[in-house]
Structures are given as C-alpha cells and as structure tokens.
C-alpha cells in the first residue's frame, strides 16, 4: 500500500513539472544543485547505482534505491526510467518521509 503512495507522489511531482528523469538529466540536476532527491531503480545496473550513490553523497543529495525501471517510468507517465530527480524541495521532503516510513517497517 505505502509503496503505491511513493509512486503516486512521483506522479504528482511529474504533473507539476518537478521531476527530471533519465541518467543525463538526473546527473545534470544534481550537479547544478537543482535536485532535492534522487531515486534509482532497484533493477538499474550496479554501475548506475554506484555512480548516483557516489554523486549524491558528494553533492549531499538524499537518494534511495526504489521500485524498478518500469514502475518508476510508469509513475511519471514515461517508459522505463533508471533514475529520477525531484526538483521541488517540499515534494522531495514529503517523499523522503515516506521512504523513512518504509525503511523503519
């Protein structure tokens, strides 16, 4: 149930124009300081996960590995997506709260 909440929140973020997707755009938003949260698909390559993990630690951007490429893409009305960046601080904080609830269960 709660997993759907994260994906539906991502849909809201996308409709509001606050999601950048795809590795290039996600990386660019992190490096430009526009990303408040990065989500990487669980079925992304190990190289992709490590790349975003290292980058997010360096730039101090919260990041989570969540769902799969198909679910992430579908939640924002696109095809497969290995990575997403949320560019709205309020929406990112809301998503982070949901991730923290998931990890404490």
**3-state DSSP call for residue 102?**
helix
Q: How far apart (Å, rounded) are the C-alpha atoms in residues 73 and 24? A: 15
The per-residue pLDDT for 101 is: 85
- What are the distances in angstroms from CA 96 to CA 24, 88, 101? 22, 12, 9
Q: For the whole model, what pTM was predicted?
A: 0.94
Domains located in the chain, CATH noted: 2-104 (3.30.1330.30)
Mean pLDDT by 10 residues, the chain (105 residues): 78 96 96 98 97 98 96 95 97 93 75
Contact 99, 66 (CB under 8 A): yes
The per-residue pLDDT for 30 is: 98
Q: How many CB atoms lie within 10 A of CB 102?
A: 14
The per-residue pLDDT for 1 is: 41
The per-residue pLDDT for 105 is: 66
Element (H, E) at 85: strand 83-86
∠ CA 19-22-14 to the nearest 5 degrees?
A: 20
């Amino acid at each position: 149930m709660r997993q759907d909440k994260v994906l539906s929140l991502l849909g809201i973020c996308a409709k509001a124009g606050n999601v950048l997707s795809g590795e290039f755009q996600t990386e660019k938003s992190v490096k430009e300081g526009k990303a408040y949260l990065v989500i990487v698909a669980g079925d992304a390559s190990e190289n992709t996960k490590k790349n975003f993990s290292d980058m997010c630690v360096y730039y101090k951007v919260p990041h989570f590995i969540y769902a799969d490429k198909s679910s992430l893409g579908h939640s924002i009305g696109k095809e497969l997506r290995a990575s997403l960046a949320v560019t709205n601080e309020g929406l990112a904080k809301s998503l982070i709260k949901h991730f923290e609830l998931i990890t404490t269960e």
